[in-house]
Structure 1
């Protein structure tokens, strides 16, 4: 099925507006790069100062071309860009890449010019990338619409290509995007597309991601982002990638920004600057990497290997020390390096000298290379059901000798039975890289990154796309009447939650002493009593809570004490009264909450609750809404998860009931995103299996 950006990435014709004869300058390099990469379509230079450039007719304006144009690449002064785009639209140009800088990145009038470009795109239907972009490179269609030296072609030098699967790159930094390509090329990893998104006046990272997700020539996606502007397109593309199991490796920069939140709840105050991004990445199975070489290593391993069936790794080496180091790198990632069975050890031992070892790590020694022990060990392990992946560690510095024969290695790797990853502890020679590339091997040289890549491979293999949330469980209800002020008291918050269909214990709000007798008659001892005011969020800090009250006399005394404490500590607070409720039976303390992210909207959070919530910050976020199954996965991601699963002989908690509560709260937050900014339930007591949960305290914050 055609994609709207097909004519962008595979244009039959390109106009270069601002073309130049000077190959040392960017306008001249654009034409040079297109021709050196053997662009097969028609090129139309446009510049009123030339009659011809490099043997091509040069036109005074785009209107003079008189032929259909799929793509215009614009490199002229910023003030001239908008008029040029108007001419392009009038001439029927389908797409444009604006290389020119001097727009929103400068602010002021320059930002206004960029807004005019966005308006033009919306009005005319022409798709525009940039401004301030470095262009793109389509290796599949030989379109080098960029000035990046990374795509330059050296005459007489054959490219190194080890993989048949390709990676596609979307970057909000042109320099980093083409740096990925530069390093991928050096490793021999094939690339489909590299696109620099620039200022994203029209086309954004989300739409480019969508193109690569549906593109049949792209098998792995590398994403470098600072922020997402086209949110809905980005999320739709992420969802599609998760469903079809296409790996997306993402680097999100800007994490160190001092993003202060004016938040009433712990839920929002604990959310880091990038918490929502990480939540979205986790929801859709993105592989997060904060290092350029690590990201490329993960991409290389994915592009050259099948996914593993489990987490058992065999380490095969010609150096004992390297084998131990490799085992440590794998084990630090939480993967297993199991001792092999006696039959396999016996087979491998026949292929090495007596001072080698076949247990795992497997040291065939240097002699094992010449005797064929290295190759045969890989053969045996590939066929064995005792391991799920193989890490081969050896020295590949030689310019003349190879440890493997192509005729023996290539069919084993081509069968793609399990991942076989190659690491060289010496700097690999170009000879070794090229010879092994013939068998489909990418030679890696960063052991820590290799360990991370294997871990990520195992995790991605077990990832399942999120199931849709059950939004029919909660009744449709207008909550406007419940949102009396921006920050609700606990009593008002619980009234809202009950109206929305969330189950809570029976409680009574008493405004004066005269109401205490009736409240006591409705409830059972022991009781909890809490001061109620929308101005007092953290009640315990003002002496506003009394627990385990067992007699009527204690109730009356506590009532007076709570009011006095509140007046003393917060004399200006609007006091509603005191909330009386039954003491909850014991359980694991959990916090469940929601907050609103300015980019992605409502987020749901779960973590270790109670007074230690902000101390340990053991929390997991996801975009709302989530299903009960996804909520269960969130709980499994907590460091405190063992507390819910019978830690040290304790009874297992009712995880199913907790997961359903998380799902219901997430649906509530998503459904009423225009009215509710934050929800916090802290603590939620999770009782024994089958005994449900109790919401002890609640806070709802409305949209201001």
Structure 2
């Protein structure tokens, strides 16, 4: 693999600007970490106050070194950073990591200094990580360009390594990134890279993710983010990871925003602060975790196991109670723990005492450890077609006793027939961890996290990257004439949608009583009448809607009543008239909408609709545009999906027509992202299969330029 960041992650030479002899301080500690990890390249300390540091010649400036430098690590006061970077650029330094803090995180002049760093990177082509970064660690190239104590090397301590697959870690928080590494190391999970992106003046999490996705030595990725700045690079990397089936476990923090999104539609107001991120994660198959230990457990299971073919789990234990607990843990995640067939039960019973049980959970009892029943039961289950994954629940506290023999266990696990996950209900001993690591086992000690990890493994195995939106039925049209008013009413919104090619019922906007006869003749009975004003968003709340009108007399009375209610409750509102339309047939109420996210742009949403939309919040978001196929997958992800599929004997709804509408609306939103902020169709009535859908109400919100 060749990548523009190769010289960043595998530099042949490193200059330490602000290096120190004091190993208790960051500049001194960073030099010590490089040397303890046996960095193979050249190290050049730079500090005018020293002639040498730890046996290395110390230079007064970067220019004095006089040889090409791949990476400069900058550890000096914030005010001195920009001049140092200018000197680095003049000397031809290719990459820099700024450890120094005191930039955009402080605001004011400090933020301006960071902007100047970004400008320098653009002008010179030097790639810069930070400021306020904790550096990085390239395990493969032995580059510990960080002051984190997590990469410290203790004399005589042999690292615990259980996995041949490696994880790469990208974190916007250096502290959390190296915490992932520290915990991974304790579990025996091999690591390729750890990188913290800091304030991202130049290099961002998206570009680092792209490097690690492309890296052949990395099998899966742990990603910790607060917000993505280099969005285009991030999305390219996310798609590539999905295409090559490289799992990404992501934790997104900052989900509890201290405020509410200002939005005119339910679509946007329900989105929350992380809906767009979650939509992007779902699109590309990212595995979402909101807990550090849980994320590491998922990583452990992924790096030490193949993907399962289904969701049937066998729980094998030496303790009846622990086995039931393990069964509950996976069952609560929606996984099956099926009773085994009589033939396989008979084989397992022959391996255990009479007081054991082979039904599932399988309790081989404590005696099964010494008799070999535990090992042989696992052997049988790994080749059984009745089971897709195995959870082994046992005690691993002993400092001397082995529950498995390495020569027997290793080939079973190496065959990779199915996942075999090991959970210890006692605190696992170092002896047990190291002995099982020889067979490729990562010992886990959080049962709830184990259940989640096994669920995520099943879900990831089923993930497929959605097909692109492709061609749409909607013709490309100029809609600017429909966006002249600052705020659109329902009638205005529907006119725009019709112009865009979206099918809606035939309706008439009536401004005077004399126009009612013609409207009745055109629409027919039964009909619906609704007051129209760009100033009245929620018409039913002011008595602005009349439904199921069946006589001419009712039409004239309703017309007067609607106008009077509007004048009474909203005297300042600009009244456009009354919209007269046909009464829609029965159907399931669904909401379809779009909103514009500041980071990722247009999002499309579908959910359970009608007046209960915000009550149940049963919604799914995806980045727009989506194909009809992906829209169908969105519908399948709703808790209310059974309502569309013939719940309790009801007719199956026209899901294909609904999926096509979702796709069309998503294309419309993406195509006019510079003009339209939100679209909401609520409710959309989904009729029985083959009878299509009806858009009952619609709202389009213009994008207001800042």
> So what's the TM-score if we normalise by structure 2?
0.99
Deviation string, structure 1 residues 501-554 (Cα, Å, up to 9, x no partner): 111111111111121121112111101011111111111011111111111121
**Structure 1 residues 517-526 or 500-509, which shifts more?**
517-526
Deviation string, structure 1 residues 639-698 (Cα, Å, up to 9, x no partner): 111111111110000011101101110110011000000000000000001110000000
**What is the CA distance between 1:185 and its match in structure 2?**
0.2
**What is the CA distance between 1:594 and its match in structure 2?**
0.5
Matched, 1:287 2:283: no
Query: Does structure 2 conserve the Cα–Cα contact (< 8 Å) formed by 1:15 and 1:45?
Result: yes
Match of 1:549 in 2: 549
Match of 2:479 in 1: 479
Match of 1:117 in 2: 117
In 2: Cα distance, 1:380 partner to 1:175 partner: 44
Match of 1:646 in 2: 646
Match of 1:321 in 2: 321
**What is the CA distance between 1:282 and its match in structure 2?**
1.1
Match of 1:139 in 2: 139
**What is the CA distance between 1:239 and its match in structure 2?**
1.2
Query: Does structure 1 conserve the Cα–Cα contact (< 8 Å) formed by 2:150 and 2:181?
Result: yes
Map 1:10-159 onto structure 2 (within 5 A). 10-159=10-159
Matched, 1:670 2:644: no
Deviation string, structure 1 residues 48-103 (Cα, Å, up to 9, x no partner): 11111111111111111111111100000000000000111111111000000000
Deviation string, structure 1 residues 335-388 (Cα, Å, up to 9, x no partner): 000111111111111110000011110111111111110100010000111100
Map 1:340-359 onto structure 2 (within 5 A). 340-359=340-359
Number of residue pairs aligned between Structure 1 and Structure 2:
704
Matched, 1:402 2:419: no
Query: What SS class does the counterpart of residue 97 from structure 1 fall into?
Result: strand
Deviation string, structure 1 residues 590-630 (Cα, Å, up to 9, x no partner): 00001111111111111110011111111111111111111
Query: What SS class does the counterpart of residue 63 from structure 2 fall into?
Result: helix
Query: What SS class does the counterpart of residue 403 from structure 2 fall into?
Result: coil
Matched, 1:460 2:464: no
Query: Does structure 2 conserve the Cα–Cα contact (< 8 Å) formed by 1:206 and 1:237?
Result: yes
Query: What SS class does the counterpart of residue 575 from structure 1 fall into?
Result: coil
In 1: Cα distance, 2:472 partner to 2:238 partner: 25
**What is the CA distance between 1:484 and its match in structure 2?**
2.5
- CA RMSD of superposed structures (Å): 0.8
Query: What SS class does the counterpart of residue 365 from structure 1 fall into?
Result: coil
Match of 1:208 in 2: 208
In 2: Cα distance, 1:703 partner to 1:434 partner: 59
Match of 1:332 in 2: 332
Query: What SS class does the counterpart of residue 277 from structure 2 fall into?
Result: helix
Match of 1:304 in 2: 304
**What is the CA distance between 1:260 and its match in structure 2?**
1.3
Match of 2:697 in 1: 697
In 1: Cα distance, 2:472 partner to 2:93 partner: 47
Query: What SS class does the counterpart of residue 566 from structure 1 fall into?
Result: helix
In 2: Cα distance, 1:125 partner to 1:473 partner: 44
**What is the CA distance between 1:486 and its match in structure 2?**
3.0
> So what's the TM-score if we normalise by structure 1?
0.99
**What is the CA distance between 1:264 and its match in structure 2?**
1.0
Query: Does structure 2 conserve the Cα–Cα contact (< 8 Å) formed by 1:410 and 1:440?
Result: yes
In 2: Cα distance, 1:623 partner to 1:651 partner: 31
Match of 1:540 in 2: 540
Map 1:212-611 onto structure 2 (within 5 A). 212-611=212-611
**What is the CA distance between 1:470 and its match in structure 2?**
2.9
In 2: Cα distance, 1:177 partner to 1:369 partner: 38
Residue ranges of structure 2 left out of the alignment (5+ in a row):
none
Query: Does structure 2 conserve the Cα–Cα contact (< 8 Å) formed by 1:486 and 1:703?
Result: no
Query: What SS class does the counterpart of residue 404 from structure 1 fall into?
Result: coil
Query: Does structure 1 conserve the Cα–Cα contact (< 8 Å) formed by 2:251 and 2:291?
Result: yes
**What is the CA distance between 1:193 and its match in structure 2?**
0.5
Query: Does structure 1 conserve the Cα–Cα contact (< 8 Å) formed by 2:261 and 2:272?
Result: no
Segments of 4+ in structure 1 off by > 4 A? Answer: none
**What is the CA distance between 1:471 and its match in structure 2?**
3.8
In 2: Cα distance, 1:637 partner to 1:258 partner: 28
**What is the CA distance between 1:46 and its match in structure 2?**
0.6
Match of 1:633 in 2: 633
Query: Does structure 2 conserve the Cα–Cα contact (< 8 Å) formed by 1:539 and 1:545?
Result: yes
In 2: Cα distance, 1:105 partner to 1:486 partner: 37
**What is the CA distance between 1:472 and its match in structure 2?**
3.2
In 2: Cα distance, 1:533 partner to 1:82 partner: 56
**What is the CA distance between 1:494 and its match in structure 2?**
0.6
Deviation string, structure 1 residues 399-440 (Cα, Å, up to 9, x no partner): 111010110000111111100000001101001100110000
In 2: Cα distance, 1:678 partner to 1:235 partner: 23
Query: Does structure 1 conserve the Cα–Cα contact (< 8 Å) formed by 2:472 and 2:664?
Result: no
Deviation string, structure 1 residues 267-296 (Cα, Å, up to 9, x no partner): 111111111111111111111111100000
In 1: Cα distance, 2:123 partner to 2:638 partner: 48
Query: Does structure 1 conserve the Cα–Cα contact (< 8 Å) formed by 2:297 and 2:450?
Result: yes
Query: Does structure 2 conserve the Cα–Cα contact (< 8 Å) formed by 1:259 and 1:273?
Result: no
In 2: Cα distance, 1:78 partner to 1:455 partner: 46
Match of 2:197 in 1: 197
Query: Does structure 1 conserve the Cα–Cα contact (< 8 Å) formed by 2:589 and 2:684?
Result: yes
**What is the CA distance between 1:174 and its match in structure 2?**
0.7
In 2: Cα distance, 1:661 partner to 1:243 partner: 27
In 2: Cα distance, 1:547 partner to 1:440 partner: 67
Map 1:616-631 onto structure 2 (within 5 A). 616-631=616-631
In 1: Cα distance, 2:348 partner to 2:642 partner: 40
In 1: Cα distance, 2:570 partner to 2:485 partner: 18
